[in-house]
């Protein structure tokens, strides 16, 4: 008797759940029109949603700041959403949400080039324009990619900076990340060619690898300075490496005598720029990146560009941009940070 | 426990149990499970009316796609928790199954169904390993599955390293997102295997001898053993089921995102357990029902979906779900206290009101009947 009653209650409840689910479905289908209405509001008011790799990351806080400024300039509605950890499946839920909301444009930094593709395509089918920035997906999953910098640009700016800082002559060395790091190796190759071609008096004497580990990079810097007493400059094309090398130099006798430059972030490098260890280093400006991405999204939504090579649009204070091959827009030359501008940045 | 019955040997004795004096509608409506279902209905209709775009055609579709792995794994997890055990390794088994399907498909050239079959068998073996250590060696499941949580995840990441395998045939990745009744329908294909498993597990837990054994073990496994339940075999089978279903969920996860990674579904085990507990299953075992669990999973899904549409951050969503979970756990204690209090008051008005110790016994008896009746 007990068991039978229990079963009855279970059955009754299951029936209730089922009926709930079914009525719910009916409601959602018949109300489909309202979704279109919210999406159709794009005529005067462009809704742009930024989806960075994760929230609470200073780099993406800065890019979203730029995006927000741009959206406010052209009078749209800005929104920033994102997962708390940088995982692709968490990002998919936010892409789906954007598709449901029918936002006009979604600006994404992809956690995985493939895993978020289908979700992006679904959002695209729902009428949302897809712009990727910082980290791209497969080209067929988005309308436009905003590239922060090219390998050539990154290599060239570092060579230029070291040449300026050591007077275009003398011995330099490179402190890289891991020996098999794809990006760094590509940049180093380009840097070598650039040095040979344009700076014959600069001699690259050594390339060492700090494995993107703070302590290893620190030790390698010390060893580098001991084994090459005539060293005039160090290039570190990795944010971990340049910070560790700066930390070593700032407390050593070489401070101010051996130049250090490379790719770094303002927050890590601020104290070394201020105490004179480092004159200038480079990276792209994430704020400009977000700003450009928002304007590109706007241009797509308005139909000014379609993502075809040769299309051009104006991005507010940054000026005119032209779409390159593979529907890519290049932000420009890497941005140089020095003591005059470093306090304008917080990432 | 049987004191109450012994006190009144007449046939009418059973009538005095408070649980039996309640009418059918009370027994149906005044349960933890129904409270969750009611809350789900409230949240759903509130969101439908107030959250912009929640009533769109995509909401339920994405909702089901998102919660499908949790729905699937919650089924065996409910049974495992009702026996008083826990399985923390389910998400790692999902990751392992995902990595394995990727490796078998891309490197060994296996077709998806074959790779999936191998992965599910491996998942069952993983579960069997847990089950063996818990049931036959007698180790605490918390310790065992924390160990295998790390072990299986480690193997998964060892198989693939940091790379992801993404070249799955479109036929299969599309199938994972296919809708049942053609375009525009809110129900994805994954609900079909889920409903089949749901029917299977409802029968297993609520309508079979095996299921009665599951509850018996949760209440008291010694007593269950002496009343003829094969405690070891039951626990072992439940862990095997949990492993196999998790591997299947891993297959779905891989195909849905078209990406096999060692870190897929990281941390999902806690979402599953949270949903199961929210659905009214007691973490101490012996109490719970599947309709509550299914409602619990959907409730968490609806809340996160509605809050995401409102533009809330993940942290706020987690806070709401966390508070809800704590409230639901506290509510069991509060309800138990309230029921004990009410039945004591009712008792004290009957003519054979006795001393306080007798009173306590009655309350115990009432509580025992309550929990038996919950089945």
Partner-chain contact A16 B37, CB within 8 Å: yes
Partner-chain contact A79 B311, CB within 8 Å: yes
Partner-chain contact A24 B40, CB within 8 Å: no
- Our CA-based measurement puts residue A140 at a distance from the nearest CA of chain B, in whole angstroms, of 15
> Domains of chain A (ranges plus CATH)?
41-149+286-335 (3.40.50.2300), 151-283 (3.40.50.2300)
Q: Which residue of A has its CA nearest to B306?
A: A97
Q: How many Å apart are CA A292 and CA A309, to the nearest integer?
A: 17
Q: Is the pLDDT of residue A8 over 60?
A: no
pLDDT tens-digit readout, A75-117: 999 999 988 877 778 888 899 889 888 899 999 998 887 888 8
Q: B113: Cβ–Cβ under 8 A, 6 or more apart, which residues?
A: none
Q: CB-based contact (8 Å) between A93 and chain B?
A: yes
Chain A residues close to B207, C-beta within 8 Å: 7
Q: CB-based contact (8 Å) between A130 and chain B?
A: no
Q: Is the pLDDT of residue A305 over 70?
A: yes
Partner-chain contact B56 A100, CB within 8 Å: yes
How much is the average pLDDT of A318-328? Answer: 87
Whether this model's ipTM surpasses 0.85 comes out as: no
Domains in chain B: how many in total?
1
- pLDDT for A41: 38
Maximum distance among all alpha carbons in chain B?
Answer: 79
Partner-chain contact A90 B314, CB within 8 Å: yes
Q: Is the pLDDT of residue A196 over 70?
A: yes
Mutate to test the interface with A, among B271, B307, B314 (most CBs of A within 10 A): B314
Q: Please report, for residues A161, A224, B171, B289, the alpha-carbon distance to residue A231 in angstroms, rounded to integers and kept in the order given.
A: 16, 8, 59, 73
Q: Which residue of B has its CA nearest to A98?
A: B309
How much is the average pLDDT of A245-269? Answer: 91
The ranges of chain B with pLDDT < 50 are 1-15, 351-375
Partner-chain contact A12 B44, CB within 8 Å: no
Most confidently modeled of A26-35, A75-84, A282-291, B126-135? B126-135
- Our CA-based measurement puts residue B204 at a distance from the nearest CA of chain A, in whole angstroms, of 13
Between A204 and A15, the higher pLDDT residue: A204
Give the three-class secondary structure for A131. strand
Among the partner-chain residues B184, B258, B309, the one whose CB lies closest to the CB of A114 is B258
Partner-chain contact A87 B263, CB within 8 Å: yes
The CATH number covering residue B295 comes to 1.10.3470
Q: Which domain holds residue B299?
A: 3-10+17-373
Burial per residue of B19-51, b for 16 or more beta-carbon CB atoms within 10 angstroms, e otherwise: beeeeeeebbbebbbbbbbebbbebbeebbeeb
Q: How many Å apart are CA B241 and CA B267, to the nearest integer?
A: 20
């Amino acid at each position: 008797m007990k068991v039978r009653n229990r079963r009855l209650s279970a059955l009754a409840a299951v029936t209730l759940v089922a009926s709930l689910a079914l009525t719910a479905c009916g409601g959602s289908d018949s109300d489909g029109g309202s979704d279109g209405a919210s999406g159709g509001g794009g005529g005067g008011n462009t809704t742009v949603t930024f989806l960075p790799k994760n929230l609470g990351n200073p780099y993406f806080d800065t890019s979203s700041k730029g995006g927000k400024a741009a959206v406010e300039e052209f009078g749209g509605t800005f929104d920033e959403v994102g997962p708390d950890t940088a995982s692709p499946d968490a990002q998919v839920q936010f892409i789906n949400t954007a598709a449901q909301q029918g936002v006009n444009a979604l600006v994404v930094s992809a956690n995985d080039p493939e895993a978020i593709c289908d979700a992006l395509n679904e959002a695209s089918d729902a009428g949302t324009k897809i712009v990727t920035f910082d980290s791209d997906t497969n080209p067929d999953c988005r309308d436009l990619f905003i590239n922060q910098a090219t390998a050539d640009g990154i290599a060239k700016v570092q060579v230029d900076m070291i040449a300026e800082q050591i007077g275009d002559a003398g011995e330099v060395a490179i402190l890289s990340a891991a020996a098999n790091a794809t990006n760094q190796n590509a940049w180093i190759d380009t840097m070598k060619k650039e040095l040979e071609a344009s700076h014959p008096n600069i001699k690259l004497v050594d390339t060492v690898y700090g494995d993107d580990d703070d302590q290893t990079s620190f030790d390698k810097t010390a060893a580098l300075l001991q084994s090459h007493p005539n060293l005039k400059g160090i290039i570190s094309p990795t944010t971990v490496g340049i910070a560790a090398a700066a930390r070593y130099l700032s407390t050593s006798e070489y401070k101010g005598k051996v130049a250090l430059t490379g790719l770094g972030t303002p927050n890590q490098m601020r104290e070394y720029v201020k105490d004179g260890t480092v004159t200038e280093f480079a990276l792209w400006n994430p704020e400009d990146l977000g700003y450009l991405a928002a304007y590109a999204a706007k241009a797509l939504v308005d139909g000014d560009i379609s993502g075809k090579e040769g299309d051009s649009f104006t991005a507010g204070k940054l000026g005119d941009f032209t779409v390159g091959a593979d529907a890519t827009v290049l932000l420009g030359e890497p941005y140089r940070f020095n003591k005059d501008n470093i306090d304008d940045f917080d990432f | 426990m049987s004191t109450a019955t012994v006190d009144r040997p007449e046939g009418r004795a059973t009538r005095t149990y408070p649980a039996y004096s309640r009418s059918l509608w009370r027994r149906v409506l005044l349960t933890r499970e129904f409270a969750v279902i009611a809350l789900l209905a409230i949240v759903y209709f509130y969101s439908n009316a107030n959250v912009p775009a929640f009533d769109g055609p995509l909401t339920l579709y994405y909702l089901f796609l998102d919660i499908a792995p949790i729905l699937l794994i919650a089924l065996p997890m409910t049974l495992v928790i009702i026996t008083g055990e826990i399985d923390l390794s389910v998400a790692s088994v999902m990751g392992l199954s995902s990595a394995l399907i990727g490796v078998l498909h891309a490197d060994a050239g296996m077709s998806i169904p074959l790779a999936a079959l191998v992965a599910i068998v491996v998942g069952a073996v993983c579960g069997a390993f847990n089950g063996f250590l818990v049931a036959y060696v007698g180790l605490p499941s918390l310790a065992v599955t924390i160990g295998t949580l790390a072990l299986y995840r480690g193997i998964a990441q060892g198989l693939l390293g940091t790379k992801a395998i993404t070249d799955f045939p479109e036929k299969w990745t599309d199938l994972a997102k296919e809708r049942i009744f053609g375009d525009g329908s809110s129900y994805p294909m994954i609900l079909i295997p889920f409903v089949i498993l749901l029917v299977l597990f409802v029968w297993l837990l609520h309508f079979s001898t095996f299921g009665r054994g599951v509850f018996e073990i949760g209440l008291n496994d010694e007593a269950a053993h002496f009343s003829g339940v094969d405690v070891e075999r039951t626990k072992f089978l439940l862990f095997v089921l949990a492993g196999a279903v998790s591997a299947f969920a891993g297959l779905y996860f891989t195909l849905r995102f078209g990406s096999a990674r060692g870190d897929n579904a990281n941390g999902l085990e806690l979402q599953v357990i949270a949903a199961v507990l929210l659905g009214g299953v007691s973490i101490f075992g012996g109490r719970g029902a599947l309709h509550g669990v299914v409602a619990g999973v959907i409730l968490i899904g609806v809340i996160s979906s509605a809050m995401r549409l409102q533009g809330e951050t993940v942290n706020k969503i987690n806070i709401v779900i966390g508070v809800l979970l704590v409230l639901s756990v506290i509510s069991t204690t509060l309800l138990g206290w309230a029921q004990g209090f009410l039945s004591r008051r009712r008792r004290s008005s009957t003519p054979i009101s006795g001393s306080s110790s007798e009173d306590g016994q009655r309350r115990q008896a009432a509580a025992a009947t309550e929990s038996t009746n919950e089945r």
